[in-house]
Amino acid sequence: MANPDRRTRRLAACGLLAALSVALMMTSLLPFGAYCAAILATLPLIPAQDAWGSRWALAVYGAAAVLGLLLSPDRETALVFLAFGYYPALREKLQAVPSAALRLLGKLVLCNAGIGAVWAASVWIFLLPAEELAGSAVLGALLVVLGNLTFLLYDLALVRLTALYRKRWRRLLRRWLGAEP
C-alpha cells in the first residue's frame, strides 16, 4: 500500500483529471458535439490508467460521470460519457484476451450495451418518445452499425493517443502527478 502522502497526492491528481474531464464535457456546442465532447472527456483517464492502473482510472471516471451529470448543461454529453467513459480503463484488460475474435466481440458487446443504456435512459429517464429516437427499424439498425464502427475507430484512436501520451507526455505528467517513474 502506498504511504498516506503519496495516496493523497494520487487522489488530488485524480480529482484534477476528473475536473478536466468535466470541463471537456462542457465543450459540446455543435449538434454532434455531444459525442465528440464525451469522447474527448475520456482522454484524462489515460494518464491515470498509465500511472496507477484501472482502479484509479475508474475512480476518475466515476467522479467525472457524477459531476458531469450534475454540472453539464448538455445532458446528452454526460449520458454518453456515463455509458462509454469507462472504456479507456477497461481497454487494457480486453487487450489481454488472447483471441483477436474474442477481443473484438468483447468490444462490440461493450459498445452495444452502452448504446442500449443511452437509448433506455433517453426513453425511460428523459421521457423522449422511442419512435422519434430511431425513426424506423432500418434507421435504428443503421445507427447501431454506425455506432459500432465509430466505437472501433475510437478504440484505434485510443491506441494511438495512448502511444503518443507515452512517447511525449508521460515523463512530464508523471512528475507533475507524483507517479513513480
Q: Which residue has the cell 459500432?
A: 148
**CA-based torsion, 49, 52, 58, 60: positive or negative:** negative
**CA-based torsion, 156, 161, 164, 166: positive or negative:** negative
Print the domain residue range for 73: 4-177
Q: Which three cell numbers stand for residue 69?
A: 451529470
Count up the domains in the chain and report the number. Answer: 1
* Backbone φ and ψ of 10, nearest 5°: -60, -45
CATH number of the domain to which 146 belongs:
1.10.1760
Region 70-98 average pLDDT:
89
pLDDT tier for residue 161 given thresholds of 50, 70 and 90:
very high
36 secondary structure, DSSP code: H
Q: Which three cell numbers stand for residue 32?
A: 454532434
Please give the Cα distance from 71 to 85 (Å, whole number). 16
* pLDDT tens sequence across 120-160: 887 788 777 766 665 667 777 888 899 999 999 999 999 99
Please give the Cα distance from 59 to 181 (Å, whole number). 21
> Which residues fall within 8 angstroms of residue 130, CB to CB, at 6 or more apart?
123
* pLDDT tens sequence across 1-54: 556 677 888 888 899 999 999 999 888 766 667 788 889 999 999 999 998 899
The structure's pTM equals: 0.85
